[in-house]
Chains A and B, each alone.
Chain A
């Protein structure tokens, strides 16, 4: 085909000339449109390759032997019978890689395989590689491990008792080895302002632990090739951290390690640190010279866990009679499970992230994370702040009730504002929380229906805020947090090498939308290759809601460098100022005269002739000078914060205590919706997950009295109940765009913030429906039924209706005990 014919073909497929004038008027050509995802077709056809879909020639299958004890010393391991089994190629134990690892460099406390102590039922003890899975399983049965059981601690109180055996050796002599982290921070005069408060609400709250349950179980393949290079394919959210830890634990040159992230079947925080299987496939491949795959069973996924920490929270909230928040005081006991994981951060987040969207007169939190003999807790969607947010938003509802004030109005009165700092010195840029409250108030018919629905039916409201990534990376360094490399080919095809981890949230698509926006190419011309440490520049991973924000900014940086070259070359050819050249819809055109245009590939060819081969890197780094000047002040600091409000509508069956959530209205300030379909997907998925935690989910373990101490209560997707399509309420997304100065085109996060308010909104709706306060999760039928047996529930329900919007000073002047 001649060049002219090829260009005609491209021109015919590009945006028609008549529409170019509208493109000039519109702010964006691609951003903000309801578009498909770049990997959508692969996913709906089954072509997308997840880790377990990959089979390498000569691949062996690995299995991991796990502890049956919640806490025990390993006295001896005899692997000889397993090694002698035909078909077994290697057996390894903790002594083969006795290096501690962990996602937080200061709290490394895990071994890939336990060396001399197991700390929960399911802790890894040995691993085998065999010709097939059946042989590997038989080999595990032949490994003899001699244990000396130790006392097990399944709750933080018993682990903190004076005579408790330390689950980990104390870092400093004399310390309690079972305390992972203690944080106490105070901002302003809490005691004075609490004493001066006209209303004080006190409550104790319990948040049961929950887990992520992505539908794809963890899977990894390792191959140590004859040149001495290690490649690991893994269903991970953090290829970069895995890359570093693999090299460190296995004592390899990090430059000779490659981590590849295939398609990932969901994470939600459950794959955001290294796991035993990744080290095991690597070492087993080093031992055998063959690729080795390990796929977790669903049961192993429940034991790998790293899910939501159980938290016991004692909360005090002081306000004046107008509802203004004067003092907030939280004391939190956090059940961490057997290892540190992200626990240092969790402990800070349990307090640091509560200080918006409301202005606090003063604030104190005291949080303690404790080791117990259960699978380690870690970051689940809304890391560390979902639990205190539940408690606080219920506290606010109680305050509104005590004051006889509408709970939405109470929240408005305490609005923090935009362009400000929180009491703990977090910098808030844009803040669309008021618009969120307005949207859910209107959509739910709040004014006409709150406190007016018949007995058994109710509405509840709650708000929240969340980070768009963190200003500080997990290991201290000054380098960019996210980067891309863009290459332009002569046909017009643009390839992006993106470090970001697309785990289903759509970061690869966001990158493609940005390239299309900035370089004017149709989306079909953009190819995105992501998260392969041999090919792509560094991005720190899919956690803390950072990907769209950070890789988006990095991609704009790179694309604009190239757009500038293309515009300069075209401007030179047309003898017009470069500012008049627009790139959109498959064309380079003159924005002052849209009849003057050329297909985008022709523009690229001009630029390549003028400047040489077209390629650029772009990166984003976070502000490093914006945080509180106190120890821990950097934790919780984010370039921008998202805001959310929910209204939930419930009906309660008074006979059985069964709560049905009829609908949740979700208003979320995401800054700008780069693709509203993806933003809604995050909002709906978040609200669903919060709803699930509110009513159904419990990651719990059997006690000694129940027979098998430390055993998971039901490690299957039948017994651990996650909602089906029949359980899930109707979800209505209301996008609020505050256009943030820091975000890409003004965007902020959408993946975690909208989970938070689901739970307290449902709790508050249950109160509106039947007059009982649910301060412990989940709100399962037995608990709700029991609460309903309190004879005064009906009276409270009637009293709440009588109070209306009238301020009751007789109640407000004396502290109210919740």
Chain B
């Protein structure tokens, strides 16, 4: 049995014909070709499939597709602005928080939800917010560094512009690294150009 479900993904209205037992993850990946969201376990254990549903992080592999109908779905593909990364994406890149990168989209979505709820989290609060996302490469250290760095930069940008919005303020690839996060420190980094993005 196939049926047509209308999803609102990253503000696009997308009718998609899928088998009726499909999960939101399958509809995104195999129906809409949005392969940024990953499948690591297909049973809700690893968090690689995390997306935002009406702003709340959910495991898309456990979400029947029809449960998402008419609600706002946000995936990793919706984070970056034109020619610029979301501050969290940029901080993950600068800090080396993405090694193999497979858990990264899910972790980014959990982190986006955290910073939208709590723009100035402690390290322990970040650990708690990411506890449903398994990473096997990093030992989490650089991920925690990256979320801290992004929060600091967003706060800085909000202070400068008088806006408190957490989303969409793009970090520019190649910009100098802000002080405060552990990873970008070092004898020859302060103010240095960062390449390769």
A residues contacting B by CB (< 8 A) are: 32-50, 52-53, 55, 134, 212-217, 263-268, 297-298, 503-506, 509, 512, 516, 522-524, 676-678, 680-681, 684-689, 716-718, 722, 724-726, 728, 730-731
Contact = CB atoms under 8 A, between A and B. Distances in A.
A524 B108 CA distance: 25
Contact of B99 (A45, A505, A687): A505
**Interface hub of B40, B134, B184 (most chain A Cβ within 10 A):** B40
A725 B99 contact: no
Contact of A44 (B41, B89, B130): B89
B197 A215 contact: no
A44 B98 contact: yes
A684 B194 CA distance: 22
The 6 closest A-B pairs by CB, nearest first: A46-B36, A504-B100, A265-B102, A688-B139, A43-B101, A523-B195
A725 B143 contact: yes
Contacts of B89: 41, 44-45
Nearest to B101: A43
Nearest to B194: A36
Contacts of B39: 52, 217
A382 to B, nearest CB: 15
B42 interface: yes
A503 B100 CA distance: 6
B183 to A, nearest CB: 6
Nearest to A724: B131
B136 A213 contact: yes
Given A41-B89, A266-B136, A524-B197, 8 more contacts: A32-B188, A37-B196, A48-B101, A504-B99, A681-B99, A681-B137, A722-B134, A724-B134
A50 B38 contact: yes
Contact of A40 (B34, B137, B196): B196
Nearest to A664: B139
A214 B195 contact: no
Contacts of A681: 96, 99, 137-138, 142
B157 interface: no
| Range of interface residues on B (Cβ < 8 Å) | 35 or more
19 contacts: A35-B196, A44-B108, A46-B76, A215-B136, A216-B38, A216-B40, A264-B100, A265-B102, A266-B100, A266-B102, A298-B46, A504-B100, A522-B195, A678-B96, A680-B142, A685-B137, A717-B41, A722-B136, A725-B140
A47 B135 contact: no
Contacts of A298: 40-43, 45-46
Given A36-B196, A688-B139, A717-B40, A46 B105 contact: yes
B154 interface: no
B92 A215 contact: no
B98 A46 contact: no
Nearest to A686: B139
B173 to A, nearest CB: 6
B127 to A, nearest CB: 4
Given A266-B102, A504-B100, A722-B136, A53 B35 contact: yes
Tell me if B's interface is mostly helix, strand, loop or mixed.
loop
A775 B181 CA distance: 39
B42 A265 contact: no
Contacts of A730: 141
B104 interface: yes
**Interface hub of B126, B138, B192 (most chain A Cβ within 10 A):** B138
B98 A40 contact: yes
B93 A677 contact: no
Interface stretch (B62-70, B77-85, B159-167): B77-85
A134 B18 CA distance: 13
B11 to A, nearest CB: 16
Interface in B1-46: 19, 29-30, 33-43, 45-46
A726 B128 contact: yes
B85 to A, nearest CB: 7
B102 A214 contact: yes
B130 A725 contact: yes
B115 interface: no
Given A34-B183, A687-B139, A41 B93 contact: yes
Given A36-B195, A43-B104, A50-B102, A716 B189 contact: no
A685 B141 CA distance: 9
Nearest to B45: A717
A40 B93 contact: yes
Contacts of A217: 39-40
A353 B126 CA distance: 39
B53 interface: no
B46 A263 contact: no
Contacts of B197: 36, 40-41, 524
Contact of A716 (B29, B41, B103, B142): B41
Given A41-B93, A215-B135, A725-B127, A716 B196 contact: no
Nearest to B91: A44
Contacts of B41: 298, 716-717
Nearest to B48: A215
